[in-house]
Amino acid sequence: MQKTPQANRLHIAILGRRNAGKSSLINALTNQDLTVVSEVAGTTTDPVYKSMELLPLGPVTMIDTAGIDDRGELGKLRVKKTKEVLGRTDLAIIVIDPQQGIEKAERELLEELRERDIPVVGAVNKIDQTEEDKIELLSEELGIQLQPVSATKRINIEDLKKEIVFNAPSEFEEPHIIGDLIKPQQTVVLVVPVDMAAPKGRLILPQVQTLRDVLDNDAQALIVKERELKGALEELKSDPEIVVTDSQAFMDVDADVPARIPLTGFSVLFARYKGDLEIYTRGIKGIDNLNPGDKILIAEACTHHRTPDDIGKVKIPRWLRQLVGGKLNFEHVSGREFPDQLDSYDLIVHCGGCMANRKEILYRLKKADSLNIPIVNYGMLIAHVHGILDRALEPFPLAQMIWEE
Ligand SMILES: Nc1nc2c(ncn2[C@@H]2O[C@H](COP(=O)(O)OP(=O)(O)O)[C@@H](O)[C@H]2O)c(=O)[nH]1
Ligand code: SF4
Ligand SMILES: [Mg+2]
């Protein structure tokens, strides 16, 4: 269970006001006593992530949040951090404290969850000290059926688990990385540069996950550095089904892979797996409409170690400046921060999102797309500025069609 990458799990957020019993409820659900349970309202502001096995869903991540009420000194910060959680939430549990009742905070939260298409499970906690009529009344007030529970007395916890399983989104099944492009016994060649930017002693997550998807589909993979690619292709008895390369090596690899062999990038595979290839392809067209002085948001989903020639901080700004032939204004965000207001940006460039869950990236993508703000990811941008997107999109007919329109 610990081996499933964090980003691929169903994310369940526990939301509600301070002292509703959110942390106690997570303890009850996970059968542990690790989270901070406190009688003082608002102990923490940062969301806490915990893993558990929830059959039949498998490994899930529970997100314990601080509170949706903005009272107190840290109130605004707490609400902001809790709202940020919604971007990565696949299912939300709203916890109501019968003593506190239902107010604006709960109604607004429910509305926001509905806007974001996040399935909701409602729970009334502390029923060990609540009258039954009160529970029915609260359900009516909020307009959703609330599951009565007691976190500390562990009453109806199994029923709540059933509600969670029942309401878990069915589209949680993620799309293929490469499995739909290959058949059993076929060969895939993966090109993995081992340079300064590569972590010591291991492969990075997108490479490992692609490899795993090849194996899951009963196919085989040959992994080479870009320098060994040409020789390796010549050694193979027949052409591989597809070659996948790290985007930064795309140009060299492009020259070494004969035109008859399909070639794409890990970043294109992950643009599809983690986001939406069609939205990104539309976004790429927006790059060509940039003008000097335009404002560009560069967003990275994690705070990874940065090299001197960092792709987000140095390379992409340089390429874009060269492309428009003038100055551009760049803003950078990383990790869980992503601006609420996107209107002022002319382009958003997002990282591959390997450490983020699909829901969060999709939310960012759809938000930008609905405002007609072009959004692209690193790999597709790199492919485009190097003039090789035509080739990288060939294995994906729909995206290719949008691109050629
Ligand atoms: N009587 C009763 N008290 C509870 C129950 N669940 C939580 N509490 C208490 O409510 C207080 C707040 O709980 P906590 O889990 O820290 O709430 P949070 O702020 O929402 O995370 C603590 O004193 C808990 O012991 C319950 O089911 N019954
Ligand atoms: S692609 Fe994004 S999430 Fe993955 S390591 Fe880079 S910055 Fe982090
Ligand atoms: Mg708590």
For 245-292, write each residue's pLDDT tens digit: 988 888 899 999 999 999 999 988 988 888 888 899 999 988 989 999
Whether residue 1 has pLDDT greater than 50 = no
Ligand 2 center from residue 36 Cα (angstroms)? 30
Closest listed residue to residue 382, CA positions, set 405, 355, 349: 349
Q: Decide whether any atom of ligand 2 lies within 6 Å of the 301 Cβ.
A: yes
Whether residue 296 has pLDDT greater than 50 = yes
**Fold classification of 176-405 (topology level):** Rossmann fold (3.40.50)
Ligand 1, atom 10, residue with closest C-alpha: 21
pLDDT at site 2: 43
- The conformational region for residue 355 under phi > 0 = left, psi -120 to 50 = alpha, else beta, is alpha
pLDDT at site 143: 93
Atom of ligand 2 at shortest range from CA of 354: 4
Ligand 2, atom 4, residue with closest C-alpha: 354
pLDDT at site 308: 76
Boundaries of every domain in the chain: 6-172, 176-405
* Stretch 64-77: mean pLDDT: 79
* Stretch 169-179: mean pLDDT: 73
Ligand 2, atom 7, residue with closest C-alpha: 300
pLDDT by residue (tens digit) across 355-366? 887 778 887 888
Whether residue 210 has pLDDT greater than 70 = yes
DSSP conformation class of 128 = G
Whether residue 38 has pLDDT greater than 60 = no
Packing angle of the helix pair 266-274, 205-216 (nearest 10 deg): 80
**Fold classification of 6-172 (topology level):** Rossmann fold (3.40.50)
Q: Decide whether any atom of ligand 2 lies within 6 Å of the 300 Cβ.
A: yes
Ligand 2 center from residue 379 Cα (angstroms)? 11
Whether residue 203 has pLDDT greater than 90 = yes
Q: Which of 25-29, 43-47, 49-53, 353-357 has the lowest mean pLDDT?
A: 43-47
Q: To 10 degrees, the CA torsion angle through 4, 51, 119, 299?
A: -70
Atom of ligand 1 at shortest range from CA of 20: 20
Q: Decide whether any atom of ligand 2 lies within 6 Å of the 83 Cβ.
A: no
Q: Which residues are near ligand 1 (CB < 6 Å)? A: 16, 18-24, 37-39, 125-126, 128-129, 150-153
pLDDT band at 141 (very low <50, low <70, confident <90, very high): very high
Atom of ligand 1 at shortest range from CA of 125: 27
Bridge partners for 299 per DSSP: 333, 350
User: DSSP 3-state assignment of 204?
Assistant: coil
Find out whether 286 and 349 touch, Cβ atoms under 8 Å: no
Q: How far apart are CA 301 and CA 293, in angstroms?
A: 25
Ligand 3 ion: nearby residues, β-carbon < 5 Å: 22-23
Ligand 2, atom 8, residue with closest C-alpha: 302
Atom of ligand 1 at shortest range from CA of 17: 20
Q: What percent of the chain lies above the pLDDT cut of 70?
A: 92
The Cβ of residue 343 has, within 10 Å, a number of other Cβ atoms equal to 7
Ligand 1, atom 26, residue with closest C-alpha: 126
Q: Decide whether any atom of ligand 2 lies within 6 Å of the 361 Cβ.
A: no
Same fold, 6-172 and 176-405: yes
Atom of ligand 1 at shortest range from CA of 18: 19
Q: Decide whether any atom of ligand 2 lies within 6 Å of the 355 Cβ.
A: yes
Q: Decide whether any atom of ligand 2 lies within 6 Å of the 194 Cβ.
A: no
Max avg pLDDT among 4-8, 68-72, 99-103? 99-103
Ligand nearest to the CA of 39: 1
Q: Decide whether any atom of ligand 2 lies within 6 Å of the 356 Cβ.
A: yes
* pTM of the full structure: 0.61
* Stretch 69-78: mean pLDDT: 75
User: For the chain, what is the mean pLDDT?
Assistant: 87
DSSP string, 54-72: ETTTEEEEEEE---S---S
Ligand 2, atom 1, residue with closest C-alpha: 352
Ligand 1 center from residue 239 Cα (angstroms)? 63
Atom of ligand 2 at shortest range from CA of 352: 1
Tokens of 387: 């003039």
Tokens of 324: 């428009």
Q: Which of 14, 19, 63 to mutate to test the pocket of ligand 1 (most atoms within 8 A of CB)?
A: 19
Q: Which of 124, 127, 152, 154 to mutate to test the pocket of ligand 1 (most atoms within 8 A of CB)?
A: 152
Q: Please give the order of strands across the beta sheet that includes 10-16.
A: 48-54, 58-64, 10-16, 91-96, 120-124, 146-148
Ligand 3 center from residue 11 Cα (angstroms)? 17
pLDDT band at 314 (very low <50, low <70, confident <90, very high): very high
Ligand nearest to the CA of 25: 1
Max avg pLDDT among 149-153, 355-359, 397-401? 149-153
